Amino acid sequence: MSRRQYALPQRTDEHPPDDTGCTVLHVDMDAFYASASLLSRPELVGTPVIIGGGGNRGVVLSATYEARKFGVASAMPMSRARRLCPQATVVQPDHQLYSRISKAVMATFATITPIVEPLSQDEAFLDVAGSVRRLGSPAQIAQQIRDTVHDEQGITCSVGVAPTKFVAKLASGLAKPDGMVVVPRDEVVGFVQQLPVGALWGVGDKTEEALVRLGLHTVADIAHTPLDTLRRALGDTTGPHLHDLAWGRDPRHVEPVRREKSIGSDETFEHDVDDPAYIHRELLKLSDRTAARVRSAGLVGRTVSIKVRFADFTTITRSRTLRDPTDVSRDIYATAKSLYDALGLQRARIRLVGVRMEGLIDTEGAPIQGLLDEPDAGWREADRAVDRASARFGAGSIRPASLIRDARHRTPPNG
């Protein structure tokens, strides 16, 4: 949503918004992956940049606002993004960097309030009701967060300040990039009802089509539709839910216990691959990447899963739960390779493979005693040495020997 599309109250410093009771903040980093990637590439700031795999069959992870003006969006096929913005610079993702900055940002949030609900690496809800007496008004707290993130991490964030989660998230979207929008409690209804129905939380493509068929195009239309009509058209759950949102009612609280349920990586090949040896090397690379991200998050996982997508886009997954949780690259790869080999694919043409760790728990207190005998302890220490080298010299500075050949021969076999 663009700030220009919707009416926001015009205020000056002499007449700031009334943020009384607006104790829910939604903080969202601006083009997070792109902004973080450009910290080491300052010459690209202000230019179109796309973050994602270099091959045409990869997907866009993020893009700078200069590239977004051309229609480039996250999750878009890289081939389409290149056509839309051929002048853009393509930068490979650095997931360790993103994880490190995300942890630092979340630590900043924790200094504000213990009630933080992360939604992803780059956004979170905060309940600051208990922080007002110590830190000032909600809007002042939001500005403090924006200043701290910029000063300490070198990136910007946008903040929505509102009485509820739903309205705070809408407001942060309207604040982008690098802004703050406060929606006073007595202006919530007018603010929400000017929006299109697709802005409501929980309205996907199918629900939006159903609403439009009813002649409902704005949130105000939903608000003034009889509840029984909405129930008949959308069901006993969705109908009342959207009706409540249309009147600014959102009873959900900020939940501080959310954590990542899984961490993984996948790779789409430039050409369909039917060489098992190449797939094994790819699984090794993805296992290393996934394990590093698990360790960076201070977690270990119990379940290893793989994803295989064939040339016809058919996708299958397989998983195995280990006896003990692990963050060891070697263990993850051995399990992923075993899962793949058990498929017996032989010369099947494969478009994508992925490796994921599930059943994540904190490293502290995790029952990993089974990993502490001499051989496994050695592998764990080796992984941590690689992590330290990567942090100092960049991701990929140390890699398994079999992947050096892969780096020299980037085009997969196309037999």
Known binding site for Mg(2+): residues?
28, 122
Backbone torsions φ then ψ of 270, nearest 5 degrees: -65, -30
Spacing of C-alpha 340 from chain mean position: 27
Helix or strand (DSSP H, E) at 134: helix 132-135
Cis peptide before 177 (omega within 30 of 0): yes
In DSSP terms, 142 is beta-bridged to none
Residues that constitute the known binding site: 28, 122
Coil, helix or strand at residue 399 = coil
Closest CA to 336 of 367, 358, 314, 368: 358
Active site residue 123: yes
| Main-chain dihedrals φ then ψ at residue 344, nearest 5 degrees | 60, 45
CA 331 to chain centre: 26
Of the candidates 66, 117, 123, 267, the residue annotated as catalytic is 123
- Pull the structure tokens for residue 387: 């992590």
Calpha distance 174→369 (Å, rounded): 49
CB 300 within 8 A of CB 326: yes
CA 409 from centre of chain: 31
For helices 276-296 and 374-393, the axis angle rounded to 10 degrees is 80
Angle (deg, nearest 10), helices 138-153 and 95-112: 150
- Contact between 98 and 32 under an 8 Å Cβ cutoff? The reply is yes
Assign residue 46 a region (left: φ > 0; alpha: ψ between -120 and 50; beta: otherwise).
left
Residues acting as catalytic residues:
123
